[in-house]
Amino acid sequence: MDQSTNNDIFVNLREEYNKTQIQEILSQLDKDLIGLKPVKLRIQEISALLLIDRLRKSLGLTSVNPGLHMSFTGSPGTGKTTVALKMADILHRLGYIKKGHLLTVTRDDLVGQYIGHTAPKTKEVLKQAMGGVLFIDEAYYLYKPDNERDYGAEAIEILLQVMENQRDDLVVIFAGYKDRMDKFYESNPGLSSRVANHVNFPDYTSEELLKIANMMLEEQQYELSPEANNVLLDYIERRMQQPYFANARSIRNAIDRARMRQANRIFTQSGKILTKSDLVTIEAEDILKSRLFADNA
């Protein structure tokens, strides 16, 4: 920060930006996650807002306290937890949270099964999350209006109090399917009013999932043969039409099973002298033996 000749205070934005090192996080996010352009743009916008807010405070300008609590909506396997980890790091580097860790929980971690059990459970989770980000997955399960004996509402009330009164100590991210999360917020106006940033994670295309598969294989020092690459794309397009499809999570499972079949194929060729190529290459047959192709056949 410097002073000009007419005593107007000014700041070097690039210098301040570089000090935070958040570009390093945004670049890593772009590298680690295929696609998701709307999500990456939204995270960049939130980061920019927080940086400018910090600069305004440093100059003594009026600063509207930016809402930090967030909602991540989308199907399983679309990168919500990965982005939450990066967001925790960004918030820490910008000075909005003290520790920068991420604690991931579900309803079972917050809600008790009998009277007097929920408050201690929820408060213990909040204690562990203080100074960082609390990521509540499938958050809509906290609210069960049809069950009079359910204690999820108690957990929500405690969360609301902490979200409002300890905003400088904790950021909460609610996550889950978009349609269910929309109903969840509709039924909880107090909760909805405290969540300022809504980020929707789109499903991946088949081509993006193929890129993700190749990235996963490269990390494990495997590769697909040209024919296996085509077969895997066919597998992905078929799997996307099946129940319980979970985007990148389903692709990771498919890769793990293909590696297992490859290992078994090599194992049964006990008399063969193996090359490095044999050990690293996933062949088409390692994917074609999937039950998905057998069922369709």
- Determine the straight-line distance between the first and last CA of the chain, rounded to whole angstroms: 69
- 212 and 251, same structural domain? yes
pLDDT confidence of residue 188: 84
- On whether both 291 and 170 belong to a single domain, the answer is no
Q: In the listed set 201, 235, 259, which residue is the last one of a domain according to the structure? A: 201
Give me the CATH number covering residue 236: 1.10.8.60
pLDDT at 9: 60
**Alpha-helical runs (H) found in the chain:** 13-20, 22-32, 37-58, 80-93, 107-110, 118-129, 152-165, 178-186, 189-194, 206-219, 226-239, 248-267, 276-280, 284-288, 291-296
Burial-class residue 130 by CB neighbours within 10 Å (0-12, 13-18, 19+).
middle
Q: Is residue 260 domain-shared with residue 182, that is, in the same domain?
A: no
Do 20 and 109 sit in the same domain of this protein? yes
What's the domain count of the chain? 2
Here the CATH number for the domain that contains residue 115 is 3.40.50.300
CA–CA separation, 25 vs 89, rounded Å?
8
Nearest partner of 158 among 147, 140, 142, judged by Cα: 142
Range of the domain at 162: 2-201
Residue identified by tokens 């043969």 is 225
**Residue 149 corresponds to which tokens in the numbers above?**
């004996």
Which of 201, 218, 250 is the last residue before a domain boundary? 201
Q: Give the pLDDT of the chain (297 residues) as one tens digit per residue.
A: 444 444 566 666 677 767 778 888 999 999 889 999 999 999 999 998 888 888 888 777 876 777 899 999 999 999 999 999 999 999 999 889 999 899 999 999 999 888 888 999 999 999 999 999 999 999 999 988 777 678 888 999 999 999 999 988 999 999 999 999 999 998 888 888 899 899 999 999 999 999 999 999 999 999 999 999 999 999 999 999 999 999 999 999 999 999 999 999 999 987 778 899 999 999 999 999 998 888 665
Q: How many residues does the chain have?
A: 297
Three-state DSSP class for 171? strand
* Euclidean distance between CA atoms 77 and 180, whole angstroms: 17
State whether 17 and 137 are in the same domain: yes
Quote the pTM value. 0.87
* pLDDT for res 150: 80
Question: What gap in Å lies between CA 6 and CA 26, rounded to an integer?
Answer: 37
Distance CA 214, CA 66 (A): 39
